Amino acid sequence: MSKKKALLLFCCISCHMVQAQTPDMMPEGSTDINLGMAALIAPSHEGSDKQKFYLLPFASVVWSNGVFLAPGEIGLRLPSPQHLQYGPLLSYELQTNRADRNASSSLVFTPGAYFNYRLDHRLGFRSRLDYGAGTQHQGIRLHLANWFSMPLARHQSLSAEVGLTLANKHYMQSYFGINPEQAQYTGLPAYNATAGIKNTSLQVGWNVELSPKYDFSTRIGINRLWGSAASSPLTTKTNTVSLLTSLTYHY
Question: What's the pLDDT at 97?
Answer: 59
pLDDT of residue 220: 96
Residue 194 one-letter amino acid? T
SS3 for 103? Answer: coil
Which amino acid makes up residue 63? W
On whether the CB atoms of residues 80 and 46 are closer than 8 A, the answer is: no
CATH tag, 3-22+29-250: 2.40.160.40
Running DSSP on this structure, what letter comes out for residue 177?
-
pLDDT the model gives residue 46: 87
Q: In this predicted structure, what is the pLDDT of residue 23? A: 54
Burial level of 190, CB count in 10 A (0-12/13-18/19+)?
middle
**What are the extents of the domains in the chain?**
3-22+29-250
Say how far apart CA 30 and CA 20 lie, in whole Å.
20
CA-based angle 188:192:193, to the nearest 5? 110
What whole-number distance in Å separates Cα of residue 203 and Cα of residue 18? 9
**What's the burial of 110, exposed, middle or buried (CB within 10 Å: 0-12/13-18/19+)?**
buried
pLDDT digits (tens, 9 = 90+) for 96-133: 556 676 544 667 889 999 999 999 889 999 999 999 88
Residue type, 120: D
**Which portions of the chain are predicted below pLDDT 50?**
1-5, 9, 13-21, 103-104
pLDDT of residue 3: 47
Instruction: State how far the Cα of 218 lies from the Cα of 149, in Å rounded to an integer.
Output: 14
Q: What is the dihedral of CA 122, 127, 128, 129, to 10 degrees?
A: 180
User: What pLDDT is recorded for position 24?
Assistant: 61
Report the pLDDT value the prediction gives residue 25, as an integer from 0 to 100.
Answer: 61
Helix, strand or coil, per DSSP, at residue 191: strand
Give the pLDDT confidence score for residue 92 in this predicted structure: 83
DSSP E strands, the chain: 31-43, 51-63, 67-70, 73-76, 84-94, 107-120, 123-133, 139-153, 156-167, 196-209, 214-225, 239-250
**Concatenated DSSP letters of 200-240:** EEEEEEEEEE-SSSEEEEEEEEEEEE-HHHHHSTT-S-SEE
Which residues have a Cβ under 8 Å from the Cβ of 119 and sit 6 or more positions away? 83, 125
CA distance readout (Å), 248 to 12, 32, 38, 123 = 18, 13, 9, 23
